[in-house]
């Protein structure tokens, strides 16, 4: 059993994450529980390429908006406190989905049944107790913190910074038109770029870089101008007006004009490509939910050979202050939608032969308080688990559940800084330097299997 406090104390503790949450890059910075797990894997040289896995790797981020109740997602059913503090919404040991014997202290929510097979096939990885120092309980601030990978929640998005710093994003925009640069800045590269794609009407902050503008749309039908169908003679003047060089806005008094011209230009170029891809039929049947339809579109774009490296999907409604339910009910329905959508997504990718290229990472802005409230719900809390999917993940439960006895004012104490998970994804999957992207050195959490 690992669910005693000495085990927790050995996991990433607050002390090791001092000052801005930066991890000291010393040998003493051990992560015993992670090492224990990866010890099962064969040691081998890290060549920057996983055999059999193409180099054009893809990351799919799934955001659970509203603050997913981590304690009812990966439920600490082996702890009395859990059952005591959540009398009417808890997951019982019988209801929960148990994993390997050594994780008998936890169980997956029964609505995550669809993920059990993925877990057993080594396609799923769970990191427990993920959070950051001085947790902020505002949805917006905490979401901004996760999106920027910065504890003040300010600055560019972390995926945007990845694009800004990499080949595929530098210079920004599907059109390849770089924003104007100050004279003392290096010349922007001019090679073709494939901006990140978000399914949804709002482009997430995470994907907004200094130069990177993500493509965002809800359905591809809406991704074109209909004026040409009104009269042919509108085609040429339209193209002239929307494809003007944004640099000419330099003399414009409006600082927003250049931004609008650049976005407009990017839209023209993306439009044709994406509509073509999404018009195809899916290889598998997807369940009927907004998340499933988002993931099916992403799968089609991957199948069409689009060179986009990062996709973003969102799954909202997790702000369960009242009437959240236990094994059944509102929260259960949200988790079921999540599990069935992710399973169908990987079945689709498997049929395409693309599953080995696609890592999926789930997160939420925070977990919820340990105790339920008077409305049969839970209030904003702190640490929660993250789940990662794909054949390349370091499969299994990677670390112990945070202490259920040693709480911080009724909240879990986080044991893993979320930026170490980002660092693991960036360093070991995207093969970039996480230090540049995260603007600080974070020890990469071993979420990717080393071969």
Partner 1 sequence: MTLNTAQPTRDDGRRRDDDDAPDRLPSRLTEIRAHEFGEPEARHLLLRAGFGGTPSQIRTLAEWGPERSVDYLLAAEDVPYAAPKADRFDANIMRPLSESERREYRSAQQRRDEDTLARFRLLRQQRQRQDRQQIGDVQRWWLERMIETPRPLEEKMTLFWHNHFATSYRTIENSYHMYLQNQFLRTNALGSFADLLYGIIRDPAMIAYLDNNDSRVGQPNENLARELMELFSLGVGNYSERDIKEGARALTGYSFRDDEFVFNHENHDKGNKTILGRRGNLDGEGFVAAILAQPACAQFIATKLYDYFCQHIGTHDPGDEIAVRRTIQSLAGTLRSSDYALTPALRRLMLSRHFYHPTVMGNRIKSPTELVVGSVRSLNTPVRDMGVLLQAMDLMGQNLMYPPSVKGWDGGRTWINTSTIFVRQNALNFLLTGRLPVGYDGNARDERYDPTDLLTEDERRTPRSAASALLRLTLGHTDERTKDDAVRALTGFAREHDDRVNRDVLVGMLLLIAAMPEYQLC
Contacts with partner 1, residue ranges (CB under 8 A): 137-141, 174, 201-203, 213-219, 221-227, 229-231, 233-234, 236-238, 240-242, 244, 248-249, 251-257, 259-261, 263-264, 266-267, 270-271, 321-322, 373-375, 377, 379
Q: Do 417 and 23 meet the contact criterion of CB atoms below 8 Å apart?
A: yes
Chain Cα centroid distance, residue 287: 21
- If the CB atoms of residues 60 and 215 are measured against partner 1, the closer one turns out to be 215
Beta carbon of residue 231, minimum distance to partner 1 (angstroms, whole number): 7
User: What are the two backbone dihedrals, phi and then psi, of residue 91, each rounded to the nearest 5 degrees?
Assistant: -100, 125
Cβ contacts of 29 within 8 Å, gap of 6 or more: 16, 23, 443
Q: Do 175 and 194 meet the contact criterion of CB atoms below 8 Å apart?
A: no
Instruction: Look at the block and give the residue holding tokens 């924003």.
Output: 179
- If the CB atoms of residues 77 and 215 are measured against partner 1, the closer one turns out to be 215
Q: What six digits make up the tokens of 17?
A: 């994450």
Beta carbon of residue 381, minimum distance to partner 1 (angstroms, whole number): 12
Beta carbon of residue 196, minimum distance to partner 1 (angstroms, whole number): 11
Beta carbon of residue 209, minimum distance to partner 1 (angstroms, whole number): 13
Q: Give the DSSP H or E segment for 396.
A: strand 396-397
- If the CB atoms of residues 223 and 414 are measured against partner 1, the closer one turns out to be 223
DSSP code of 200?
S
Instruction: State the Cα–Cα distance between residues 190 and 31, nearest whole angstrom.
Output: 42
Cβ contacts of 112 within 8 Å, gap of 6 or more: 73, 97, 335, 336, 338, 339
Beta carbon of residue 72, minimum distance to partner 1 (angstroms, whole number): 18
Torsion sign across C-alpha atoms 101, 383, 147, 204: positive
How far CA 214 is from CA of 206, 267, 290, in Å, comes to: 10, 10, 20
Beta carbon of residue 21, minimum distance to partner 1 (angstroms, whole number): 19
451 exposure class (CB count in 10 Å sphere: 0-12, 13-18, 19+): middle
Q: Give the DSSP H or E segment for 81.
A: helix 80-85
Q: What six digits make up the tokens of 418?
A: 């979320």
Instruction: Choose among 332, 379, 371, 361: nearest CA to 138.
Output: 379
Beta-bridge partners for 107: 75, 98
Packed helices 255-278 and 290-303: angle between N→C axes, nearest 10 degrees: 80
Beta carbon of residue 440, minimum distance to partner 1 (angstroms, whole number): 23
Beta carbon of residue 184, minimum distance to partner 1 (angstroms, whole number): 16
In 251-396, alpha helices (H): 255-278, 290-303, 330-352
- If the CB atoms of residues 259 and 351 are measured against partner 1, the closer one turns out to be 259
Beta carbon of residue 112, minimum distance to partner 1 (angstroms, whole number): 24
- If the CB atoms of residues 49 and 152 are measured against partner 1, the closer one turns out to be 152
Beta carbon of residue 248, minimum distance to partner 1 (angstroms, whole number): 5
- If the CB atoms of residues 32 and 227 are measured against partner 1, the closer one turns out to be 227
Instruction: State the Cα–Cα distance between residues 147 and 134, nearest whole angstrom.
Output: 16
């Amino acid at each position: 059993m690992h669910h005693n406090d000495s085990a927790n104390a050995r996991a990433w503790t607050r002390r090791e994450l001092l000052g801005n949450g930066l991890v000291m890059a010393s040998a003493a910075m051990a992560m015993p529980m992670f090492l224990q797990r990866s010890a099962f894997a064969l040691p081998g040289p890290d060549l920057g390429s996983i055999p059999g896995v193409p180099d054009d790797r893809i990351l799919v981020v799934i955001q659970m908006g509203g603050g997913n109740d981590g304690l009812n997602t990966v439920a600490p059913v082996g702890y009395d406190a859990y059952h005591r503090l959540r009398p009417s919404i808890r997951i019982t040991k019988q209801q929960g989905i148990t994993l390997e014997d050594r994780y008998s202290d936890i169980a997956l929510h029964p609505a995550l049944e669809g993920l059990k097979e993925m877990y057993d096939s080594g396609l799923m990885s769970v990191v427990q107790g993920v959070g950051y120092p001085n947790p902020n309980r505002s949805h917006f601030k905490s979401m901004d913190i996760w999106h920027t990978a910065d504890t003040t929640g300010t600055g560019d998005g972390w995926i945007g910074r990845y694009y800004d710093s990499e080949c595929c994003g530098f210079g920004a925009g599907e059109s390849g038109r770089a924003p104007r640069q100050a004279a003392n800045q290096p010349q922007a590269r001019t090679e073709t770029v494939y901006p990140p794609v978000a399914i949804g009407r709002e482009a997430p902050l995470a994907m907004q870089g200094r130069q990177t503008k993500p493509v965002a749309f809800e359905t591809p039908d809406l991704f074109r101008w209909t004026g040409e169908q009104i009269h042919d003679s509108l085609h040429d003047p339209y193209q002239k007006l929307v494809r003007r060089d944004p640099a000419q806005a330099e003399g414009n008094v409006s600082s927003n004009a250049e931004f609008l011209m650049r976005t407009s230009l990017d839209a023209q170029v993306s439009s044709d490509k994406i509509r073509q891809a999404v018009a195809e039929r899916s290889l598998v049947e997807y369940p009927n939910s907004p998340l499933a339809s988002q993931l099916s579109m992403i799968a089609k774009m991957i199948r069409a050979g689009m060179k986009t490296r990062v996709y973003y999907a969102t799954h909202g409604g997790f702000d369960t202050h009242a009437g959240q339910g236990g094994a059944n009910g509102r929260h259960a329905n949200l988790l079921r939608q999540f599990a069935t959508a992710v399973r169908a997504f990987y079945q689709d990718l498997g049929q395409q032969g693309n599953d080995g290229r696609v890592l999926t990472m789930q997160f939420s802005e925070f977990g919820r308080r340990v105790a339920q409230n008077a409305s049969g719900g839970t209030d904003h809390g702190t640490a929660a688990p993250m789940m990662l999917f794909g054949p390349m993940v370091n499969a299994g439960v990677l670390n112990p559940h945070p202490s259920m006895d040693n709480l911080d004012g009724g909240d879990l104490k986080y044991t893993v800084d979320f930026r170490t998970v980002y660092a693991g994804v960036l360093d070991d999957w995207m093969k970039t330097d996480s230090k540049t992207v995260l603007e600080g050195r974070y020890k990469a959490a071993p979420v990717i299997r080393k071969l």
